[in-house]
Chain A
Amino acid sequence: MAARAVAVTGAGAVTSLGTGAGPLHQRAAAGESAFAGGEGRCTDFDPVPALSRREARRTDRFCQFALVAAEEALTGAGWSGGLPYEPERVACLVGSGVGGLETFEIQQTVLAADGPEAVSPLMVPMMMANAAAAQIALRHGLRGESHCVIAACSAGAQAIGAGLRLIRSGEADAVVVGGAEAATSPIVRAAFLNAGALSPTGDSVPFDRGRDGFRLGEGAGILVLEDAEAARERGAPVLAELAGYAATTDAHHLTAPDPAGESAARAVRGALADAGITPADLHYINAHGTGTVLNDRAEAAALRRSLGDALAGIPLSSTKSSVGHLLGAAGAVEAVATVMALHHRTAPPTVGLRDPDPELGALDHVTTARPLTAPGPGPLTALSTSFGFGGHNAVLVLRAASGGRAA
């Protein structure tokens, strides 16, 4: 029996570009970025009316991002009138790097000022990193497996990959997957700055010669994945196919990527093999592209090692140039951006890239929105890479849907 194909039937996002996958694609494609003080904060985000007063009060900001993005994704998939599958056959996996940091910080202050009796009993269910998966499941009645994938900056991509495997193995018919993060806190900022990862100038552009680190962002990305056959039977709208996934570990250093990119390259090769394609079949790469010198060079090395001569001819850009680095949500938001790029057949640029670092070698940097075409017989196909502190590497292969409905 052939492996079950997996369709992306819904996508939702909350980023500093606005609430919605639409603004994420359209504004990024228009060359816009949304940073204030060097951070991609979701300043206009309002959890109400999407969430009830009760939900908003009992959820941390990262969880509110996830719930609002999930609302968009499920509505887009046509699930708003009720689940199209048995609730026990629908899973929910949402990654995060940190979880409910703001809640923890507030209650830490309460403890110091007013003592232990004043600490909120809601602190744990609000700060726990699995709250996003739990609250989405609670709101929509999803009764299959649910949990949080914790893998720093590759968490979002690994949650999507874990969901893909649940459908393929037959454990679930559909999964709600993604990542959420709200960690633009002074303490996180200080720690990343002191680790040499965060941009001290706040205007660093991925792949640019003058980059000096990443810029923090916040938000969430959620996808609805369905067994493609089941999606076809119910006439679901299909945005893309999630065709391949692989993940590896560097085992090189706790934070620094292996400069040779060997394990990251193995993840790329594994994802291509999983999708049954070769480097020549790729039409776009949504790179991890953080804007740290270490990442950008290791990523270029990994892509060159895995894609060979084909790399120089594949358009490549970094969503982090528009919205910043969303840590545990990055891979998920970038998967949404990749789905939208395929759906609209347009690659968003690396916003602000003017002087590419020559050390990265020959790359086809997208600097203004680029129409995507598939000259060969296969559908438009894209790669999305994610790498995290801890040496985690995760790579997704996404393919354009044929004709907007499941084939």
Chain B
Amino acid sequence: MQLTDFVVPLIVVGIFVYATVKRVDVFSVFCEGAKEGLQTCADILPALVLLLVCVGMFRASGAVDALTELVRPLCSAVGFPAECMPMVILRPFSGSGAMAVYNGIAASNGVDSFAERVAAVLLGSSETTFYTVAVYFSSVGVKKTRYAVPAALTADLTSWIVCGAVVTLFFGAG
């Protein structure tokens, strides 16, 4: 048993209890929300098919392995699994693409491996930066986003180093 084992049950129970106190119709509101979740899954499926095929082809050809070996010296210098580099590069561009890359890493390195955990943390702690910037600024008709992209990418392109270090700290090096 770990402390993190409490997080999910506590959130579930906490929200239900709080909502009941606030006289929310938990059952019907939950179902309404769950339906949105179902919709999301259906919405991402076409993109997921395309991206899983593309990423899968790239992986099956052996090109990913070759590129991984290419960046391995740089990555191992900072304790980052080279297998996760495609994730760092693709994450700011495409959410479904990052999901596809994650799935490939989990399949070839095994779930609960160092590389798989690093990939999951990267996926969970970042956003589709270019998409977000585009949506937010196009909503107000601003084309020149000045330093928005550089500032956001400063975070995206340095957090992978932190990510490798943090996962090593919690789970040991791969």
* B partners with A: no
Which positions in A face B, CB cutoff 8 Å? Answer: none
Which positions in B face A, CB cutoff 8 Å? Answer: none
